[in-house]
Structure 1
Amino acid sequence: MNKKRMGIIIGFTLIALAVFLYVFLNGTRWHNEMFSTRYPVQGIDISHYQENIDWEKVSQENIIFVFMKATEGHDYVDPNFKFNWEETGRSGIKRGAYHFFSMRSSGAEQGARIKEIVPYDENSMPPVIDIEIPTNYNELLVKKELQDLILQLKKYYNKEPILYVTYDTYNTYIKNDFQNSPIWIRDILKPPLLYGGRNWTFWQFTDQGKINGIDGYVDKNVYKSTLEQFNDSFSK
């Protein structure tokens, strides 16, 4: 192979690599978008970072469910939660609230705050506990506070709370316990695989989704199975 041809091949390879890196770092995770198409039930999760959402436009997209941030720790309330909760109630999108778990207060204190802020609604999805804490906490203490919170929410909302996890928090605090809790796993690089072959219920497959009615990026998710099973699992 002559030097000119080798140079052309190397040049095209570098250009292709640069394009891939640009798209990966600044745009949609296209490979996960492709993998996600096998799951018909798609949804989003939001917080105050997504401002001024036009829920009428969102409801015209193929969005079946939405999880929205409500609380964090024992004192923080997402400033957009009330608006998002009320508007999704009108839109017909299946809604659920998530709480960002903290070790700066007890599970009991956090549960009390959630119950003050998130209305009881038998038609909504189960509450979500978002577990993104550092992995250097005492494992037994984390599990105790989580268990206290789970039991309190289950009793009040009459639904088994969903646990949102990264691989780090799942492998550190969750994998051998909380077997009744549905798992919502973040994996923006590939289809998820949990330790021990445990099944996931929701998969957050990108943090760079685009949805009509929302400015900027939004997290996109899928449910593990069919729309019929989704409705069976999350109706009342």
Structure 2
Amino acid sequence: MAKKKSTSKKKQEIPYKFIFIGVITIVLVTFTVHYRHGINYWMKTVSRKLKGDTENSVEKLTKYDVRNIEVMDRYYLKTFGLDISQYQGDIDWAQMKTIYDIYPINFVFIRSTMGGFNTDKKFDENWEGAKQNDFIRGAYHFYRPDENSTAQAQNFIRNVNLKSGDLPPVLDIETMPRTQSMERLIEGLKNWCSIIEDHYGIQPIIYTSDKYFENFLRPHFEGYIIWIANYNFFVEDMKSHWNFWQFTEKAQIKGTSYKVDVNIYNGTVDGLKNLTL
């Protein structure tokens, strides 16, 4: 009797094994089809390395690179660019032409100032490098919520000389205030924007995270060009109000050994030029 029970139990387990294998197979096939462009790039990179060609391959591909390629392939008709700061170190601008040797880099946002008194150590160098290599360039200010908004606007104005063909100034707001209310913070952000617009004659761009914008800023900045940071691995579609989308902070490109942020402008290169001074 014990032997018969054991046989019966084995017979019952078999279907569950097939179900498990079937589910795994479906998941793998779905993943492969969905990320086929990134996987194809990964396979070509491995092939190049096996043949000894390391110059035309990124150092080490990760799952983020696979996802990045998939997103960029989905928006291949849009316009791609970077944003950089001193954290990218010394940049070889002559090498910085494409992303993954596929997608052209058309614009670069460069960090200029932080708070009321600080400047990015590489701003002048990067600002000139972008100009000399024919990138559409823009400068952004990292806003510190607990510092005076007028002083922060003046800091940007002292250090950034915008010319015809440059993108509008960018207000980068990412952190929560510690010593004031959100209402006071909004007042400060609007004051910064007003001073900047009066000086440069153009409305600034607002950069922030998706949640920060939805929770605090959206009702107060209607009509502004919005640049959203959302790195969620499973987010692959732009929302209608995202004029720019910073979809990754982990891309690898030639020209710097550090990871970089990559952005999509939701339009053509000509459309981007229409935003400039």
Once the two structures are TM-superposed, the CA of residue 2 in structure 1 deviates from its matched residue by 3.1
8 Å contact kept, 1:41–1:223: yes
State yes or no: 1:90 paired with 2:102: no
Once the two structures are TM-superposed, the CA of residue 224 in structure 1 deviates from its matched residue by 0.5
8 Å contact kept, 2:177–2:185: no
* Greater gyration radius: 2
Distance 1:70 1:174 in 2: 23
Aligned in 2, Cα 1:125/1:46: closer, same or farther, shift over 3 Å? same
Of 144, 151, 163, the residue aligned with 1:109 is 151
Aligned-partner residue type, residue 204 of structure 2: P
The percent of aligned pairs where both chains have the same amino acid is 27
How many equivalent pairs are there? 223
8 Å contact kept, 2:80–2:105: yes
Length-normalised TM-score, structure 2: 0.72
Aligned in 2, Cα 1:228/1:207: closer, same or farther, shift over 3 Å? same
Aligned-partner residue type, residue 28 of structure 1: Y
State yes or no: 1:185 paired with 2:185: no
Aligned to 2:43: none
Partner SS for 1:66: strand
Partner SS for 1:228: helix
State yes or no: 1:123 paired with 2:159: no
Once the two structures are TM-superposed, the CA of residue 216 in structure 1 deviates from its matched residue by 2.3
Q: Which has the higher contact order (CA 8 A, sep 6+)?
A: 1
Distance 1:29 1:211 in 2: 10
8 Å contact kept, 1:210–1:216: yes
Distance 1:4 1:146 in 2: 59
Greater CA deviation, 55-64 or 216-225? 55-64
Distance 1:8 1:201 in 2: 43
Superposed CA offset, 1:66-103 (max 9, x none): 00111111011110111000111111001111111112
Length-normalised TM-score, structure 1: 0.84
Superposed CA offset, 1:142-184 (max 9, x none): 1110111001111111221111111232123211111121100
8 Å contact kept, 2:248–2:263: yes
State yes or no: 1:204 paired with 2:246: yes
Aligned to 2:213: 170
Aligned to 1:42: 80
Distance 2:90 2:217 in 1: 35
Q: What aligned pairs does 1:152-167 form with structure 2 within 5 A after superposition?
A: 152-167=195-210
8 Å contact kept, 2:89–2:258: no
Distance 1:231 1:186 in 2: 22
State yes or no: 1:149 paired with 2:192: yes
Greater CA deviation, 44-53 or 165-174? 165-174
Aligned to 1:56: 94
